[in-house]
Amino acid sequence: MTVLNQIRLILILLLGASFGSFLSLAVTRTNARTGICFPASHCEWCHHFLAPLDLIPILSWLFLRGRCRYCQHPISKLSWLAECSLGFCFLLIALRYPIGSWHIYPYCQATLLTVLALQDWTTRSFSSWCLALLALSSAIVTQRWLALGLFILFWLLLDKCAGRLRLIGEGDLLFFGYVWLSSSFYQTALVIFIASGFLLVLGFIYHPKSRYLPFIPALAMACEVVLQL
């Protein structure tokens, strides 16, 4: 691999990590009903504005050992996890496709999957528009229009049964439907299997306050691994 190509891969990794950082901030601020762009990035505890050195994706959190430089309060791992996962997703996509090509769809898919994961992690729900956009773009790319029709029927059926299902969340079932739409039954089963492993790791790294552990972040990561490897 040439030096130029190595630089290109590092830049793509940093681009993905920067998107992950921004999406984490956007989802957190949207949940708190505050502006996405203003105020500038700051510590939630001492309100000190962050310097450029505090904002380097992936690395700043590691160098600061997960603590604010100014007040030493622990910083949430959520942003760092989003930076790592989207950064490495972008890297996987760049490694999969030939040098010089720029397949925009897998990058958009990884970005939207990260939005779903962040929303589910922070609010235990996700936006329908985000999943609808993923399903529609997948059907456009794969040309599986019949599968899209079946997915919409499945969605309507789940909507009708909303609140009556006790074993698993409707959102998780819808996500299984999306994975099937963008791949196959075999890959859907593989995604669920790998996601179960990721869920154990996520539970170990990041202890949520409630007993319910959101499945979509693990499913989104597994989806990227299965679709891009």
Alpha-carbon distances, residue 227 vs 58, 86, 93, 131, 175 (angstroms): 24, 14, 10, 17, 14
Our CB check for Zn ion shows the closer of 45 and 49 to be 45
Q: What would the DSSP string read from start to end of 106-127?
A: HHHHHHHHHHHHHHHHHHS---
206 binds Zn ion (CB under 5 A): no
CB of 54 to Zn ion, least distance (A): 10
Residue for token digits 């399903």?
Answer: 135
Which region among 28-36, 42-50, 74-82, 210-218 touches Zn ion (by CB under 5 A)? 42-50
Decide: is 45 part of the binding site for Zn ion (CB under 5 A).
yes
Tell me the closest approach of the beta carbon of residue 44 to Zn ion, in angstroms: 8
CB of 35 to Zn ion, least distance (A): 20
Nearest approach, Cβ of 61 to Zn ion (angstroms)? 14
> What's the count of helices (H) and strands (E) in the chain, helices before strands?
9, 0
Report if residue 25 touches Zn ion, rule: CB under 5 A: no
Rounded (5°) CA angle 42-51-88: 85
Of the ranges 38-46, 110-118, 180-188, 204-212, which one interacts with Zn ion (CB under 5 A)? 38-46
Q: How many CA atoms lie within 13 A of 157 on its CB side?
A: 9
Considering beta carbons, is residue 43 or 56 the nearer one to Zn ion?
43
CA distance 96 to 104: 13
When asked if residue 225 is in the footprint of Zn ion (CB under 5 A), the reply is no
| Nearer to Zn ion among residue 71 and residue 99 (C-beta) | 71
| The dihedral sign for the CA sequence 76, 78, 79, 85 | positive
The answer to whether 70 contacts Zn ion (rule: CB under 5 A) is yes
| Residue 74 bridge partners (DSSP) | 67
The minimum distance between CB 32 and Zn ion, in angstroms, equals 17
Residues that bind Zn ion (CB under 5 A): 43, 45-46, 68, 70-71
